[in-house]
Structure 1
Amino acid sequence: MTTKLPVLGAALSIKSLPAHRDWLLERQRDLEIQDFFRADLLDSDWRGTAREIKAMLDGHTGRLGIHGPFWGFKIDSHDPMIRRAVTKRLLQGLEVAEFLGATQMVIHSPYTTWDANNIDMLPDNREALIERVRATLTDVIASAEQANCEIVIENIEDKNPQDRVGLAKALGSSKVRISLDTGHANYAHHSTGAPPVDYYVDAAGDMLTHVHLQDTDGYADRHWAPGEGNIRWVAVFRALAKLNSNPRLILELRNHDQVRAGAAHLASLGLAE
């Protein structure tokens, strides 16, 4: 366990990177690239975009990750044909990650608000969901292990913070870990009766290696800068301080111009640098 304050990073795109380059390099902050979840880019000259990003990051030695593809699919599809398409998309994401030298890729949790009330209605539902995810991710996990790239599963609608943890553990790879989106958890807390955000940290424990920091009002997925919503940041960072896994703390804001303001707010509370 460390006593020094964690250093914040950010989720940025090729368009917003130049404005924050000096801020990233001054502390060698962790960075998540958010261009390569787009299907149109993955199916076109993604290497050209990736080369531009690599040039922008000359001198950056912080930890690098990407947000993997997620639009238009879930990783637990019942349809084998759809699962093959999802596998292909995620393998494309890993190819990008390896090209960039990224060591983490974010993917989305399969658990829905519906699941919270219905998954245990039939005795085999929970295990069947895990097996569908396993069928989708087997080749992806093998590639991630070969590329030394961690796959982190981010909460979206998850009401029970233990669901993702159980899924990640069941997949049986050191390269499958947990991501927490604070705003998604806060939405689930206020709108669907889930526990507060710090409970999600505690539930994941040292399986948690990635955090999207964003604030909300608990009603919608705002992606506001910390301080604009109602998340209890002191409680969140108190929970994070218990961990030994050193998660990447990534400001993921809708308005990338607000990254430094969000970081300054958390710094003003004495929570991070």
Structure 2
Amino acid sequence: MTNRSSNGIPSVLFVCTGNAGRSQMAQALFRERMGDRVRILSAGVDPWDHLHPMAMKLMFERGVSLAGHHPKSVSALADQNVDLVVTIGDPARALLPKIRFSCSHWMHWDIKDPADADGTPDSESVFRFTADAIEKGLPALEALVLAMLPLSRFAGCLGIGTGLWSAERFTPSTHLPLIKECGFQAIELNLYKGRSHFDWEDPSAVADLRRVADDLGMVVWSIHSPDLTSIADPDVSKRQTQVDILKHCLDLAAELGAKAVPSHALLVGPLKEDPTGSDARLTDVLTELTEYGEQSPAQIAFENAGFPAGEMASATKILERLGRHSRAAYGFVLDTGHANIDGDLKDIQDHIGDHLISLHLNDNDGKGDSHLAPGEGNVDWATVARILKDGEFQGVVMYEIEPGESSAEERMQATLHGYKEHLESV
């Protein structure tokens, strides 16, 4: 989980080689820019015993003080979780994974060490170029951090997926006030239902959703990806199409300020027919998506199956695979109804670790994927509660409920009743 303070302030860590120049300047300049809205740290993978005099001089010229700063080792911070790590220079990026460290997002700046020019006539000009390069990177970093800020206040609040209105077009000005009136503060925008439900490729529709949500004090917590085949598909063109769709979803999530992009992309297609080839293709695709995902404020959240998808797509296999890839780019979304059908909820509890970033809470009878309100089926909600409590889950309590014979308002009221009975105490 992220290491935010009690008031939900996100944390950013700058890491370079010696923590004597680049990361110190980045920390000071970003703190000057962000104030107390963000907790800002810096460290080095091989720290010096003093600050570089040129870093102190250039910050003084900018009216930024480095008084009280001193080089620190990133190893000393290894037991902390931070929201965002910015590595500066290739040595830091190469060495950091060897240190036990946890964060939600990564960013890399390819800025070389200006200390390499020490003792040459170009020393000062190289340092000035470096300081300018750091300043040029701050606006993009600020945008990424600002996308995190509004989400912290929604931790633990209730959300509902727009799939509840799958039979009609989701209209923000009509549906969001109704959702809020029923006691929900967040939504999952369901692209799985197609563009007839919500046209995510229409910029005006996307802008309208963000505006209405902001006006109501609500948040789009997650973007459920469209129906995909498989990112392990043996057909190169089909595989690339799936990758492009996920990238587009990450872009949409950034535009709407969403945290997660739940996807079925690991569940279907050739996974069970060709496990060996699928494993290699999955590794290649996830590696390709990692760099793109690490630059996004959202993460792709792979979902557990609710059907016989084969051993390669079991929840425990997905969780094991996530452990081999970037924690900044990928996470896990727990679908309680799917787990009830598969009978693997307790296995998920044993293996989920810190991968849980989003939820699809719903109930069923263990046979059909009916997406009922909690308490209307036989999901083991006590185990779900333990998973959330033990993992210190800090996200939105998101329900994925399908429409029934009753109205959407009645389905939401039934969901609220189930929440109060089974999970509110958590």
TM-score (norm 2): 0.53
1:83 matched to 2:242: no
Question: Which residue of structure 1 lines up, in the alignment, with residue 189 of structure 2?
Answer: 33
Structure 2 SS opposite 1:170: coil
Matches within 5 A, 1:177-196: 177-189=331-343, 195=344
Specify which of 217, 226, 229 is matched with residue 60 of structure 1: 217
Q: What amino acid sits opposite 1:10 in the alignment?
A: I
Question: Which residue of structure 1 lines up, in the alignment, with residue 279 of structure 2?
Answer: 130
CA distance change for structure 1 residues 113 and 239 in 2, over 3 Å: closer, same or farther? farther
Question: Which residue of structure 2 lines up, in the alignment, with residue 234 of structure 1?
Answer: 382
Q: What amino acid sits opposite 2:360 in the alignment?
A: H
CA distance change for structure 1 residues 12 and 39 in 2, over 3 Å: closer, same or farther? closer
Matches within 5 A, 1:18-167: 18-23=177-182, 29-35=185-191, 38=194, 45-58=201-214, 59-60=216-217, 62=219, 64-69=221-226, 71-111=227-267, 119=275, 125=276, 128-156=277-305, 157=307, 160-167=314-321
* Identity within the alignment, %: 23
State whether residues 222 and 254 of structure 1, in contact with CA within 8 Å, keep that contact through their aligned partners in structure 2: yes
Listed one character per residue, the Cα deviations across residues 132-166 of structure 1 (whole Å, up to 9, x for unaligned) are 12333444332222122111111124664310112
Q: What amino acid sits opposite 1:103 in the alignment?
A: K
Question: Which residue of structure 1 lines up, in the alignment, with residue 359 of structure 2?
Answer: 211
State whether residues 261 and 299 of structure 2, in contact with CA within 8 Å, keep that contact through their aligned partners in structure 1: yes
State whether residues 36 and 42 of structure 1, in contact with CA within 8 Å, keep that contact through their aligned partners in structure 2: no
Structure-2 separation of matches of 1:137 and 1:37? 25
CA distance change for structure 1 residues 43 and 64 in 2, over 3 Å: closer, same or farther? closer
Structure-1 separation of matches of 2:365 and 2:269? 18
Which shows bigger deviation, 13-22 or 164-173? 13-22
The offset of 1:108, in angstroms, is 1.4
Gaps of 5+ in 2: 7-154, 164-169
State whether residues 165 and 207 of structure 1, in contact with CA within 8 Å, keep that contact through their aligned partners in structure 2: yes
Provide the aligned length of Structure 1 versus Structure 2.
Answer: 254
CA distance change for structure 1 residues 41 and 92 in 2, over 3 Å: closer, same or farther? farther
The offset of 1:36, in angstroms, is 6.7
CA distance change for structure 1 residues 249 and 130 in 2, over 3 Å: closer, same or farther? farther
The offset of 1:131, in angstroms, is 2.9
Listed one character per residue, the Cα deviations across residues 219-253 of structure 1 (whole Å, up to 9, x for unaligned) are 11101111111111122112321113424321000
The offset of 1:267, in angstroms, is 0.4
Which shows bigger deviation, 142-151 or 73-82? 142-151
Structure-1 separation of matches of 2:289 and 2:274? 28
State whether residues 24 and 30 of structure 1, in contact with CA within 8 Å, keep that contact through their aligned partners in structure 2: no
Structure 2 SS opposite 1:81: helix
Structure 2 SS opposite 1:206: coil
Structure number, greater radius of gyration: 2
TM-score (norm 1): 0.79
Structure-2 separation of matches of 1:271 and 1:163? 30
Structure 1 SS opposite 2:354: helix
Structure 2 SS opposite 1:219: coil
Question: Which residue of structure 1 lines up, in the alignment, with residue 51 of structure 2?
Answer: none
Structure-1 separation of matches of 2:278 and 2:223? 25
The offset of 1:184, in angstroms, is 0.8
CA distance change for structure 1 residues 267 and 198 in 2, over 3 Å: closer, same or farther? farther
State whether residues 180 and 212 of structure 1, in contact with CA within 8 Å, keep that contact through their aligned partners in structure 2: yes
Structure 2 SS opposite 1:267: helix
Structure-2 separation of matches of 1:41 and 1:62? 19
Backbone CA RMSD of aligned residues: 3.2
CA distance change for structure 1 residues 47 and 7 in 2, over 3 Å: closer, same or farther? same
State whether residues 366 and 378 of structure 2, in contact with CA within 8 Å, keep that contact through their aligned partners in structure 1: yes
Structure-1 separation of matches of 2:287 and 2:335? 24
The offset of 1:51, in angstroms, is 1.7
Structure-1 separation of matches of 2:283 and 2:321? 9
Structure 2 SS opposite 1:174: coil
The offset of 1:268, in angstroms, is 2.5
Q: What amino acid sits opposite 1:262 in the alignment?
A: T
Structure-1 separation of matches of 2:202 and 2:289? 19
